[in-house]
Structure 1
Amino acid sequence: MKFIRQLLRLLAIYRVIVRYGLDELLLSTKIFRPLRLFAYFAPGHWIRSKELTRGMRIRLALEELGPIFIKFGQILSVRRDLLPDDIALELAKLQDAVAPFHGDEARKIIEKAYARSMEEVFAEFDNTPLAAASIAQVHVARLHNGREVVIKVLRPCVQAQIRKDIELLYLFAGIANRYWADGRRLRPKEVVAEFEKTLYDEVDLIKEAANATQLKRNFKDSELLYVPDVEWDYTLPNLLVMERIGGISISEITTLKRLGVDLKYLANAGVEIFFTQVFRDNFFHADMHPGNIFIDIKSSHRPHYIAVDFGIMGTLSTEDQHYLAANFIAFFRRDYRRVAELHVHSGWVPQGTRVEEFEGAIRSVCEPIFDKPLKEISFGMVLLRLFQTARRFNMEVQPQLVLLQKTLLNIEGLGRQMYPELDLWKTAKPFLERWMDERVGLRAFLKGIRTNLPLWAENFPEIPRLIHESLVQREEDSANIKRLTYEITDLRKGMQQWHERIILIIVGCTLVVSSAIIMSLKTWSFFNIDMLMLGFLLGGIGSLMLLFAWGKR
């Protein structure tokens, strides 16, 4: 059944590819250019609509294929340096302008969820969606207390569609893991598992509401980032009700410039927000495409960000946080040996890797991009060379860092559009040095003492009793170790005896069987008497060995 479901999904994907002529687009790329004559024989060439541009064809195909493909398009949409303008502009529509489902259907979902009529729950409800994305769409409403809100409604059957595509990804991951040379290093199954967890978290709107509340608490009284309030009394697993915010989409660069917004300040603030989330709070927004970020321009010189859509949030372990920060700092200081050592110590590359050789490889990739603004850096080439280095040194993909890497790509893409002169290294370095000092420097030591001092003072009267109990426990542990030592010695002796018995039994049985075979012979040669004596002798020895083995019980 599962195989049939996967086969049907593959056929559905192929049908969409053919309908929008994407097979022809594939044949027109540089890799397949030698086969471009076959484009005329591609099914898409004859049945696709001639009125659609290539960008529109790609966008519509991704929309029809579903949430996972739309997510992929959203990630690509912020990488203007990697895509032609016409395709990038079309993919940008996937951020908040995916084809919506009908407002009447959204109304039915809401009324069914609350088990009440719309008029009982909301004073006003706009049937026309404000925005539509891959997982859900948003409608404007007004509560009976007069507060304007937005209602996020999950798309019908979205979970079933995600499940089908995840099964397909696992199929491809299994094939890659088994037959692709780099499969084991890239750990495709683990990456898909991490992606699966992220997607299922995103369709649980109660969890999204909790994420928004946590992020709002982390940036309480912040002048950099504002998070809307959640209306918990109205929020359900498939419905999220939040305060309606006003702002300009970060993608409207022309509008921001016309209004005199300080884009340099905004770009630097974005970098600080990102590193604050990752390192100070260990809780970061991992879906930062332009459709989820708005700018409040009440003060054009000190604008601040407004974030929405908190379905995908990332966290890191303490070890990954430490290694990442140390890697960033070493990178900013151009200490490539330290970068190489950290990769080995963290287990991201095999233990036997030669640090000097790895250091040289990292230097050759990173050195050309220093002292350059974003607009002068070819990140496509940098990524390509990093992948080549990773393959050469068998560097494994870290599934827990996939979300962070995706977010970094989004941040860099937004920075390139907003303020190409941004010096990413200069902005991030002081923050990370301060964070590391607070975690592992003198300030961290003093902070630890200050934090734990009340606990130590509270437990100080108990110290004599704790010392006595520790000594008693130590004596008991010593006695237990001696007892275990004796038991292990006895067990070893018993095993040795059993070993000897088994050898005696095997040899004895062999001799007795051999004796029986010799004694059963009916035809005798010249050596009749000798053979008979040999049979008796073997049987006697074998019997004695069996009796001896029996006596060793």
Structure 2
Amino acid sequence: ERTGRDVLTMEWIDGVKMNDIAGLAAAGHDLKAIATNLIQSFLRHTLRDGFFHADMHPGNLFVEADGTIVAVDLGIAGRLGKKERRFLAEILYGFIVRDYQRVAEVHFEAGYVPRQHNVSAFAQAIRAIGEPIHGQSADTISMAKLLTLLFEVTELFDMATRPELILLQKTMVVVEGVARTLDPAFNMWKTSEPVVGDWIAGNLGPRGLLTDAREGAKALLALARQALDLAARTDRLSREIDLMAENGLRFDEATAQAIGEAEARHTRSGRVALWVIALTLIYIAWKSL
């Protein structure tokens, strides 16, 4: 009875809205723990699953009695491929450990910044963004603002707009704001490091290399299974190209007939048009007499 043409209701939620700070405190919830859980869950969804809720304003977020965070209304959702997830993780981790050269290299490796630009110059531009945030208190450092500045700098280096990254950045602005509402001294970087670091270790370290090797082996096996069929197709195509070079392009009977009929229609239409023009000229000449 709660599902209609434009609304799919999957389950009932009993909880306190996340914008009800007084209600959360009255229910005995640890606001700092909720803020940490919110950000880490968002990053895990983004990096691990490549799928994230893209409308995480506090009205869409509830906290159940046991502290579980429930997000509703997935009318807007974002997806990231493995390439984009690696790009995001390495960028965030690069800023965390202040490895701006690596952040710059990731942009080039992903193909987001054209090769005619200089990696070192790009790294220097990124350093100008990252260095001022270090040494500041946690409550003044915004990851979302940093990403915004990063995208502005990349425009100077001809980086094409990535809609999925813009959607992610917009969502991060919102979810980071919710976390700071719960905990004004919230440390976004310290909270993010375990999730980002774990993803990098699992996907870009030895475990990641083994996974990539397994996926590559599967792809090679699939290709090997198709090798005979691909060889036969290639051989047939080669023979047909040789015959075409010797004898010219030939159509089958149905195609030739269709072309002939089309030409006949075109010829008949041309003749009718000439008769119409001729009759019109005769009429004009007769009227002028």
Give TM-score, length-normalised by structure 2.
0.70
Change (3 A) 1:320 1:251: same
After TM superposition, the structure 1 = structure 2 runs for residues 284-299 of structure 1, keeping only pairs within 5 Å, are: 284-298=52-66
Deviation at 1:421, TM superposition (A): 2.4
| Corresponding position of 1:361 | 125
Aligned residues: percent identity?
Answer: 34
CA distance in 2, matches of 1:241, 1:381: 35
CA distance in 1, matches of 2:212, 2:155: 41
| Corresponding position of 1:430 | 194
Deviation at 1:309, TM superposition (A): 1.0
| Corresponding position of 2:260 | none
| Higher mean C-alpha deviation, range 413-422 or range 235-244 | 235-244
After TM superposition, the structure 1 = structure 2 runs for residues 308-327 of structure 1, keeping only pairs within 5 Å, are: 308-327=72-91
Letter in 1 for 2:39: V
Match of 1:274 among 34, 39, 42: 42
Change (3 A) 1:388 1:431: closer
After TM superposition, the structure 1 = structure 2 runs for residues 198-277 of structure 1, keeping only pairs within 5 Å, are: 235-277=3-45
CA distance in 2, matches of 1:470, 1:239: 49
After TM superposition, the structure 1 = structure 2 runs for residues 466-477 of structure 1, keeping only pairs within 5 Å, are: 470=227, 474=231, 477=234
Change (3 A) 1:476 1:389: closer
Change (3 A) 1:373 1:489: farther
CA distance in 1, matches of 2:215, 2:149: 45
Query: CA-to-partner distance for each residue in 1:104-134, whole Å, 9 max, x for gaps?
Result: xxxxxxxxxxxxxxxxxx6xxxxxxxxxxxx
Query: CA-to-partner distance for each residue in 1:44-82, whole Å, 9 max, x for gaps?
Result: xxxxxxxxxxxxxxxxxxxxxxxxxxxxxxxxxxxxxxx
CA distance in 2, matches of 1:441, 1:348: 23
After TM superposition, the structure 1 = structure 2 runs for residues 98-497 of structure 1, keeping only pairs within 5 Å, are: 151=2, 235-298=3-66, 303-377=67-141, 382=146, 385-386=149-150, 388-446=152-210, 470=227, 474=231, 477=234, 481=238, 484=241
Letter in 2 for 1:251: N
CA distance in 1, matches of 2:71, 2:191: 21
User: In angstroms, what is the RMSD of aligned CA positions?
Assistant: 3.6
Letter in 1 for 2:158: N
Deviation at 1:360, TM superposition (A): 0.7
CA distance in 1, matches of 2:23, 2:78: 31
Deviation at 1:289, TM superposition (A): 0.2
Are the counterparts in 2 of residues 373 and 422 from structure 1 also a CA contact under 8 Å? Answer: no
Query: CA-to-partner distance for each residue in 1:354-378, whole Å, 9 max, x for gaps?
Result: 1111111111111211354542236
DSSP-derived class of the 2:180 partner: helix
Give TM-score, length-normalised by structure 1.
0.39
- Gaps of at least 5 residues in structure 2 are 249-289
| Corresponding position of 1:100 | none
CA distance in 2, matches of 1:380, 1:435: 20
CA distance in 2, matches of 1:389, 1:451: 35
Q: When the two structures are aligned, how many residues end up with a matched partner?
A: 245
Deviation at 1:381, TM superposition (A): 7.1
CA distance in 2, matches of 1:319, 1:371: 31
DSSP-derived class of the 2:70 partner: strand
Query: CA-to-partner distance for each residue in 1:16-44, whole Å, 9 max, x for gaps?
Result: xxxxxxxxxxxxxxxxxxxxxxxxxxxxx
Letter in 2 for 1:397: T
Change (3 A) 1:394 1:311: same
Tell me which structure has the larger Cα radius of gyration: 1
Query: CA-to-partner distance for each residue in 1:182-235, whole Å, 9 max, x for gaps?
Result: xxxxxxxxxxxxxxxxxxxxxxxxxxxxxxxxxxxxxxxxxxxxxxxxxxxxx3
Query: CA-to-partner distance for each residue in 1:365-423, whole Å, 9 max, x for gaps?
Result: 11211354542236797577446523432333211222211111111111121112222
DSSP-derived class of the 2:69 partner: strand
